[in-house]
Amino acid sequence: MPEEELELIGQFARKKLNADELYTFSLILCDNEIDRDSEKFTVSALHTLAKLFVGKTGIFDHNMKSKDQTARIYAAEVMTDPQRKTADGEDYTYIKAKAYMVRTEKNKDLIAEIDAGIKKETSVGCCIKDISCSICGRNIKTEGCEHQKGKVYGGKLCCYLLSEPTDAYEWSFVAVPAQKNAGVIKSFNPAQETAKLAEWANEYKNELKADIIRAAASVIPEMKSAALDEICDSLSLDMLREMRSAFDMSARKNLPVVRQLDCKKADGENENSEYKI
Ligand SMILES: [Zn+2]
């Protein structure tokens, strides 16, 4: 693994990791194709999302929430394939992300599964500020229009264009049998999806809090975790993220470098293999 990659990963890990402790893989996070809800991300939304997803953790299938089954995105870039067109004729554009996992005995099978290229679909959770109609360009949330997504008007398919993402919560891999129900979960639909996003935001907040409290134990051991917990409750996600990275950095300076030797050595071959969905 190149040194720059290790450095990128180092920004997120709580301790210094060695190349042989890490498993990395690439995945396509989301794209500008019209999805099964007749909605699509704009290319500019993909650029914003690529930035927002760096540092975010993902899970494999929704019920596997143990630490061993999570991966973290450490780099993401927007790629375009001019040879391939979307249903509405744009160049196919997608976010290619790189993620890492720390190898453990427990995630050995999962890693083997990824290496074997077992297909999974990615689903992402994010907040979208602007949704507009592809036919008339009106803002769906504030103005509304007479067009129905999924219908064809004058030979043109109506879809909703999703732009201006404001936050990204989590991403997950869903095994193919569940594919029909998987997809991009967006925050603009009332009730159900809002509740789902609130749940995700809450889980994400708890994850940030747990990280902060863990790091604080070594940086400011005098601080009671209950007090810190209460402080964290009053902070926004952005502030929590800021606090976590500050604590993480200080904690890393305080900690001796520990090496885990129970991990299998990476064979290097699959480290950056393309993991297409
Ligand atoms: Zn319209």
User: 163 vs 168, 181, 268, CA distance in Å?
Assistant: 13, 23, 38
> Measured in angstroms, how far is the CA atom of residue 147 from the centroid of ligand 1?
4
Residue 9 inside a domain? The answer is yes
Residue 78 inside a domain? The answer is yes
pLDDT at 177: 35
Kindly list the protein residues that place their beta carbon closer than 5 angstroms to ligand 1, a single-atom ion. 133, 135-136, 145, 147
Answer yes or no: do 76 and 124 share one domain.
Answer: yes
pLDDT at 81: 92
DSSP helix, strand, coil percent of the chain (3-state; round to 5): 35, 30, 35
pLDDT at 194: 55
Answer yes or no: do 110 and 215 share one domain.
Answer: no
pLDDT at 11: 82
Answer yes or no: do 123 and 195 share one domain.
Answer: no
Domain of residue 230, residue span: 189-255
pLDDT at 51: 96
Answer yes or no: do 237 and 216 share one domain.
Answer: yes
Answer yes or no: do 171 and 249 share one domain.
Answer: no
Backbone torsions φ then ψ of 60, nearest 5 degrees: -100, 115
pLDDT at 197: 62
pLDDT at 266: 31
Answer yes or no: do 220 and 96 share one domain.
Answer: no
Answer yes or no: do 18 and 7 share one domain.
Answer: yes
Answer yes or no: do 20 and 112 share one domain.
Answer: yes
pLDDT at 61: 63
Answer yes or no: do 102 and 221 share one domain.
Answer: no
> Measured in angstroms, how far is the CA atom of residue 40 from the centroid of ligand 1?
15
> Measured in angstroms, how far is the CA atom of residue 130 from the centroid of ligand 1?
14
> Measured in angstroms, how far is the CA atom of residue 180 from the centroid of ligand 1?
27
Please name the residue ranges forming H helices in 85-224.
Answer: 108-115, 192-219
- Report the alpha-carbon distance of residue 49 to residue 192 in Å, rounded: 23
pLDDT, averaged per 10 consecutive residues of the chain (277 residues), comes to: 84 79 87 89 96 89 59 93 92 91 86 73 84 94 91 92 89 54 40 61 82 84 86 84 82 53 32 37
> Measured in angstroms, how far is the CA atom of residue 161 from the centroid of ligand 1?
11
Is the Cβ–Cβ distance between 102 and 96 less than 8 Å?
A: no
Answer yes or no: do 22 and 103 share one domain.
Answer: yes
Answer yes or no: do 175 and 206 share one domain.
Answer: no
pTM for the structure as a whole: 0.63
Answer yes or no: do 174 and 217 share one domain.
Answer: no
> Measured in angstroms, how far is the CA atom of residue 37 from the centroid of ligand 1?
16
Residue 90 inside a domain? The answer is yes
The 10 Å CB-count burial string (b at 16+, else e) for 190-204 is: eeeeeebbeebbeeb
Q: How many domains does the chain have?
A: 2
Q: Is 262 exposed, middle or buried (0-12, 13-18, 19+ CB in 10 A)?
A: exposed
- Report the alpha-carbon distance of residue 74 to residue 12 in Å, rounded: 8
Residue 155 inside a domain? The answer is no
Helix (H, G, I), strand (E, B) or coil at 49: helix
> Measured in angstroms, how far is the CA atom of residue 145 from the centroid of ligand 1?
5
- Report the alpha-carbon distance of residue 69 to residue 260 in Å, rounded: 18
